[in-house]
Structure 1
Amino acid sequence: MFKKSLLALALSATAFGAAASTIEAVNVTTAEVTTTGSEALAAFTSYKSTGTGTPARAAVFSKEGLALAGDKITVNGVSAVNTFGISFKAGAKYPNGSAVTFLVTGAEFDTSSTVTHSLDAAADTTTGVTAAQAQAKDMTFLSKAADKLVFQVADGVDEDAVTYLLRTGLTKITGDVTITAYASTPVVTEIDKTSFKVATVKNQFKITPTKASGVINVSADRKSFADTVAATGVSAKADFSVKVETDNTPDVLAAVADSVTVTLNNDLSVFDTDADGAFDDGVKVVATDATNTTFTYDKTKKTSVIATKTAGNTAFSRDYGLDIDLTSNGTAVTNGIVLAPTTFSGKVEAKYTGSSKSETLTADVALGAWTLNGSVVKVPYMPFGDNTAVVLRLTNTSSKTGDLTVRYMLEDGVSEWKSVGVVASIKPGLTNISDLVMNAIKADAKVTKGKVAIELTTNVPSSDVTITALFRDIKEQDRAVVGTN
């Protein structure tokens, strides 16, 4: 007869270890080596949530670090601080001829010829187990498969008094890893089966943008923002940045930050009206963190890049962005720049290292937008040509006179707006803007007929502007009203 026993499994940075009939994750903090070359059991603490007495949790693997390691990790039976391993403990003695089986899901056991599989008793000076005593209690390796390892118990050993260290390897780690253990005796095929999710794979890094939300002030002729401080020209809402941050702190295989590059999709040449490679007088565009990052504007390529100044493990804690201020010695900008509604975006490339390799996290990121507190009206469709008359009427019910700016997009596969600038100054009342708008578009596009979408921006309060849009077939005298938005 035999005594029914209890199993214990746990995950650790060096070893699993736990109380009877439990499986819990543990983290090795110190090692105790009693004899050179001998097995050693480390002192460990459970991976637990914050607070005393809370249930054990799975160890967190860095998804990025795991990929650098080739989705595999060594399970090392010899204790060493911050290595990953498994310890096993039975709750009572098993009869001679019994076996212990380990199963894995979410990964595979590494069955390659370079990996050793053993289940050895650990020396532990805190319990008085010497290296020689431990080695006499080692279990014998019987068989291996991608999902299973089997060991036979040694004769005459009280397994419940021993902590065993499993030496193996895990590969093809696809997600959460669960280890299951059970014993088989000469008369019972499966007893004391217990499982625990010993590891979970989580993203270590995330990209967090601080988005622009600047409101262009039409009352200032679109040369500043609604929140611009008059004395300095600074608008906090005009700026944007992005930071690579820690999403989950890993226990195992942490990747290390190296550098970040952010390439804007926006063309900042609007602030370089003379195309000399320098921003116009009264325009200040600088890196948000000028101490630790660099900002490069290329007038030829019309590209803007913010990057790490010095590569290192603090690179991901920086703000990569731009501070955009419109000042001229403390006064408002007096150059010819007119701010336009703009949506900002960029490409983030965050390089990190681990396992003597490097990889780059690449992502497109939205960085916010500038909007107007004036009137922006879109005419989504307008045909024009020799036989088509365009009618555009603008009603300004305010007492303010403001510039009318036009952007257009021809229906020829183009997906970006093109600006023709200011076409008129709109006074209070009704204004026929048909010829003003269409002549500017045809001259800029060098066409005489086609189909076009039009954006009309008026520097007066949006609630005071109404635009009527329609077109008429000159020969047939048919007309159609176009909805605006």
Structure 2
Amino acid sequence: MKTTLKSTLVAAAIAATFGAQAGDITSPTTATYSEQASTAAGDITTADVIFELGAEYTENDLLTFSLSAGSVADSFDALPASIVANSGSTSITFGKLATLADSVIYRVTNVDNPDLLGTTGIVVDFAAGIDVDGDVIAAGTNIELCATATTAVGGITFDTDCMDVAAVEDQFTNVSVTTGFDGEIDVTNMRETFTGANTLEDTLVISHTTEDTTGWASYVDPGIVTLVLKGDFTDLTESQFTSGATTTDLNDDENELTLTYPSTLTTDTITFTSDGTGSGVSLIKQSFELDASQSYTCGAGCSGDADVASLGMGTDAGEWTLNGADINIPYMPYVDLELSNSERAIGQIIYVTNHGSQSGDIFVTATAEDGTVVLNNVQIDSIDGGEMRKIAPLIRDELLAEDFTDGKLSIDVTVNAADEDITVYAAYKHNTEADRGVIITDQYKKNND
């Protein structure tokens, strides 16, 4: 007893001074389950528990195995009541002391160390596995097994290790945009082409990696990859977008381009080609987004239905900018727009001035407070160099054609002319008052940044 107590105190002192040593749970190894394939499977039994001691043990020390989640009533029942492990002339005996809700506790009942070789490195094979709840794995929760040795005196931890006996992994990774669209639309060419060396083309490069499921406990079989490129493709055609896709389809609303690929997709370049000068199709300043998904069917260790996994939603896919004038009027109120100017409570005043020599068409996009696009890149007029144009009545006509009569709008005015040559004056006036409410456009803000 004195020898045991002395050894325990020495072990406690070492643990307190140097911290817990590192044992090693060599079995079971981690079983990986696909998040998409994880269906309820009842209790799952792990491989036999094997623990390599990483410190010096003495009688009455405690060794506890615990689960972070997924324990069942009989999780540890298969582990033996006692076990003897040997290394050379040294042997150590563990006896099962208690089984709790999520753990089992063993006590060292004997250490035989005649040649003073110590217990460090002894491999204890419990010759049985642990039962865990498959429903917990199906819910996407990892299950961790920890081994913790504590001293008989003071309860100081001196040997420990943790590892996942069940790890749930997402089998699918998001599609990423390696290179986004970055074309600059050339207003000097009626916005029908881009600036730069290649005036007709702009490219989007995407990449995708697939998880290697070799050795996984469960997985699904990947199917078709679907990309949905979102933007304003008014008057464009799907044939203008070339890629390695199996199919390419532009929807009737001309705001979604859908491309499908085989499950082996790793990378692709989507190239847009303009019809060029004289096509009559103006390219639109805008930002693009990409939604991606992949279908799958059940593979090994899975009994669920076919489904679709998201590979990322709303991913930034680049933008098209203008080398011309694009000016935002952040606020313009309208009331009873169907009435004549003299009858309306509020009148609108919007002028465009061209200080340069280049003529250009004037386009308007109007967006309501709730995000509804009332006018979408509508050409309302053109302007010559050195000219000023009053466009408020023209905007009114277009709004009435869309049955818009009341509300507040944000208005983008785009002119196919050099940005530095175009100014926009915007104001509104209560017809019963003399004062005007002058609106500060983003052109003023940009010039004062």
TM-score (normalizing by structure 1): 0.66
Q: Residue 373 of structure 1 is aligned with which of 309, 323, 329?
A: 323
Are 1:101 and 2:45 matched, yes or no?
Answer: no
Are 1:144 and 2:99 matched, yes or no?
Answer: yes
Residue 312 of structure 2 aligns with an amino acid whose one-letter code is A
Tell me how far 1:381 sits from its aligned partner.
2.0
Residue 266 of structure 1 aligns with an amino acid whose one-letter code is G
- Residue of structure 1 equivalent to 2:71: 110
- Residue of structure 1 equivalent to 2:293: 349
Q: 1:101 to 1:483 in 2, by over 3 A?
A: same
CA RMSD of aligned residues (A): 4.5
1:108 alignment partner, SS class: coil
Contact residue 390 and residue 471 of structure 1 kept, 8 A:
yes
Structure 2: gaps (5+ residues): 13-19, 114-118, 443-449
Partner Cα separation in structure 2 for residue 431 and residue 100 of structure 1 = 88
Tell me how far 1:121 sits from its aligned partner.
7.0
CA displacement, residues 28-58 of structure 1 (integer Å, 9 cap, x when unaligned): xxxxxxxxxxxxx89x9xxxxxxxxxxxxxx
- Residue of structure 2 equivalent to 1:418: 375
Contact residue 409 and residue 453 of structure 1 kept, 8 A:
yes
- Residue of structure 2 equivalent to 1:181: 148
Tell me how far 1:71 sits from its aligned partner.
12
- Residue of structure 1 equivalent to 2:391: 434
- Residue of structure 1 equivalent to 2:274: 326
Partner Cα separation in structure 1 for residue 83 and residue 247 of structure 2 = 56
Partner Cα separation in structure 1 for residue 77 and residue 320 of structure 2 = 61
Partner Cα separation in structure 2 for residue 122 and residue 441 of structure 1 = 90
CA displacement, residues 52-98 of structure 1 (integer Å, 9 cap, x when unaligned): xxxxxxx8x979649837799967344xxxxxx65232644643x66
Contact residue 174 and residue 292 of structure 2 kept, 8 A:
no
Tell me how far 1:403 sits from its aligned partner.
1.1
- Residue of structure 1 equivalent to 2:362: 404
Contact residue 53 and residue 120 of structure 2 kept, 8 A:
yes
Tell me how far 1:175 sits from its aligned partner.
6.7
Contact residue 6 and residue 90 of structure 1 kept, 8 A:
no
Q: 1:156 to 1:128 in 2, by over 3 A?
A: closer
- Residue of structure 1 equivalent to 2:181: 212
Are 1:68 and 2:68 matched, yes or no?
Answer: no
Q: Residue 382 of structure 1 is aligned with which of 332, 343, 352?
A: 332
1:263 alignment partner, SS class: strand
Q: Residue 307 of structure 1 is aligned with which of 260, 283, 304?
A: 260
Are 1:476 and 2:430 matched, yes or no?
Answer: no
Contact residue 62 and residue 250 of structure 1 kept, 8 A:
no
Partner Cα separation in structure 2 for residue 62 and residue 415 of structure 1 = 47
Q: 1:421 to 1:258 in 2, by over 3 A?
A: same
Contact residue 367 and residue 411 of structure 2 kept, 8 A:
yes
- Residue of structure 1 equivalent to 2:116: none
1:429 alignment partner, SS class: coil
Q: Residue 284 of structure 1 is aligned with which of 225, 240, 251?
A: 240
CA displacement, residues 371-416 of structure 1 (integer Å, 9 cap, x when unaligned): 11111111122234433332211121222111111111245x4433
Partner Cα separation in structure 2 for residue 165 and residue 301 of structure 1 = 66
1:441 alignment partner, SS class: helix
- Residue of structure 2 equivalent to 1:49: none
Tell me how far 1:184 sits from its aligned partner.
5.4
Residue 395 of structure 1 aligns with an amino acid whose one-letter code is T
Tell me how far 1:368 sits from its aligned partner.
1.9
Q: 1:243 to 1:350 in 2, by over 3 A?
A: farther
Matched ranges for 1:196-345 at <5 A: 196=161, 198-199=163-164, 205-210=173-178, 211-227=180-196, 229=198, 233-235=200-202, 239-245=203-209, 258-259=222-223, 260-266=225-231, 268-272=233-237, 279=238, 284-287=240-243, 289-290=244-245, 293-299=246-252, 303-309=256-262, 311=263, 314-315=264-265, 317-319=266-268, 322-327=270-275, 332-345=276-289
Q: Tell me whether 468-477 or 337-346 shows the greater mean CA deviation.
A: 468-477
Contact residue 24 and residue 196 of structure 1 kept, 8 A:
yes
Q: 1:65 to 1:87 in 2, by over 3 A?
A: farther
- Residue of structure 1 equivalent to 2:420: 463
Residue 144 of structure 1 aligns with an amino acid whose one-letter code is T
Q: 1:242 to 1:379 in 2, by over 3 A?
A: same
- Residue of structure 1 equivalent to 2:309: 360
Q: Tell me whether 438-447 or 216-225 shows the greater mean CA deviation.
A: 438-447
Partner Cα separation in structure 1 for residue 397 and residue 148 of structure 2 = 78
- Residue of structure 1 equivalent to 2:159: 194
2:53 alignment partner, SS class: strand
Q: Percent identity of the aligned residues?
A: 18
1:182 alignment partner, SS class: strand
Contact residue 151 and residue 158 of structure 2 kept, 8 A:
no
Contact residue 183 and residue 194 of structure 2 kept, 8 A:
yes
Q: 1:155 to 1:417 in 2, by over 3 A?
A: same
Contact residue 362 and residue 383 of structure 2 kept, 8 A:
yes
- Residue of structure 1 equivalent to 2:447: none
Partner Cα separation in structure 2 for residue 409 and residue 441 of structure 1 = 13
Q: Residue 123 of structure 2 is aligned with which of 148, 151, 163?
A: 163
Q: Tell me whether 176-185 or 402-411 shows the greater mean CA deviation.
A: 176-185
Partner Cα separation in structure 2 for residue 154 and residue 64 of structure 1 = 42
1:118 alignment partner, SS class: coil
Tell me how far 1:140 sits from its aligned partner.
4.6
Contact residue 244 and residue 350 of structure 1 kept, 8 A:
no
Partner Cα separation in structure 2 for residue 252 and residue 139 of structure 1 = 33
Contact residue 65 and residue 104 of structure 2 kept, 8 A:
yes
Contact residue 423 and residue 440 of structure 1 kept, 8 A:
no
Aligned residues: 398
Tell me how far 1:208 sits from its aligned partner.
1.9
Contact residue 174 and residue 312 of structure 2 kept, 8 A:
no
Contact residue 109 and residue 146 of structure 1 kept, 8 A:
no
